[in-house]
Structure 1
Amino acid sequence: MIVSEKIENLINERKKLLPDDPRINEIWDELTKIFSEDEKATIEYLNNCPESQLEWISEIFEDISENLQSEDFIDTLEKLQKKFPDLDLEMDISYAKEALNN
């Protein structure tokens, strides 16, 4: 089970950082680890998370995909793109698809 509060805290921490801050990688690593532990829980979380969180989580779609190696994960991302058309997830989803084949 994914703890929403933990994800929210990490995302809030990430929001405060400048784009070139090296601590971003630490946050990405921690989020990737959480979302790579249980594919079903990850898909459930993403399907229910708010648009504002999904935007930040999309930064690590590729890393999650590389770890999960799951078509279901990719399908979920594509559905989320349709659910939230104002988010530009196309490039992040493309990278996630490429990671699936590696």
Structure 2
Amino acid sequence: MIDNKKVKKIISERKKLHPDDPAVEKKWSELTDIFKENEKETIKYLENCEGEELEWISEIFEDISEKLQSKKFIDTLELLEKKYPELDLKMDVEFAKKAIN
């Protein structure tokens, strides 16, 4: 099961960083490590998280996709893109699609 508190803590730390800060990569890696472990849990988590949280996680959709290599994950991202049109997830979803071999 994905540790919700841990994810929220990492996202909170990420929010405080400047986009060009090298520490951003570390936060992305920490989140990717969590979400790459279990496809079903990751999908469930994304389906149930709030829009703002999803927006931050979208930064690593491509990395998660590269690790999971899952059509079901992509399908979920496409549904979330429709569910949250105000988040403009299109580019992140496209990069995630391209990460599948």
TM-score, scaled relative to structure 2: 0.99
Q: Hey, which bits of structure 1, 4+ residues long, moved more than 6 A?
A: none
Look up the match of 2:29: 29
Measured in 1, the distance between the counterparts of 2:76 and 2:50 equals 15
Post-superposition shift, 1:37?
0.2
Look up the match of 1:96: 96
Look up the match of 1:77: 77
Measured in 1, the distance between the counterparts of 2:31 and 2:19 equals 17
Are 1:2 and 2:38 counterparts?
no
SS at structure 2 position matched to 1:100: coil
Are 1:13 and 2:33 counterparts?
no
- Residues 60-99 of structure 1, C-alpha deviation per residue, up to 9 Å, x if partnerless? 0000000000000000000001111101100000000000
Are 1:42 and 2:25 counterparts?
no
Measured in 2, the distance between the counterparts of 1:97 and 1:85 equals 18
Post-superposition shift, 1:45?
0.1
SS at structure 2 position matched to 1:86: helix
Look up the match of 2:59: 59
Q: What residue identity is the alignment partner of 2:90?
A: E
RMSD: 0.4
Measured in 1, the distance between the counterparts of 2:11 and 2:71 equals 25
Q: What residue identity is the alignment partner of 1:42?
A: T
Where structure 2 has 5 or more consecutive residues not aligned to the other structure, the ranges are none
TM-score, scaled relative to structure 1: 0.98
Identity within the alignment, %: 62
How many residues in Structure 1 have an aligned counterpart in Structure 2?
101
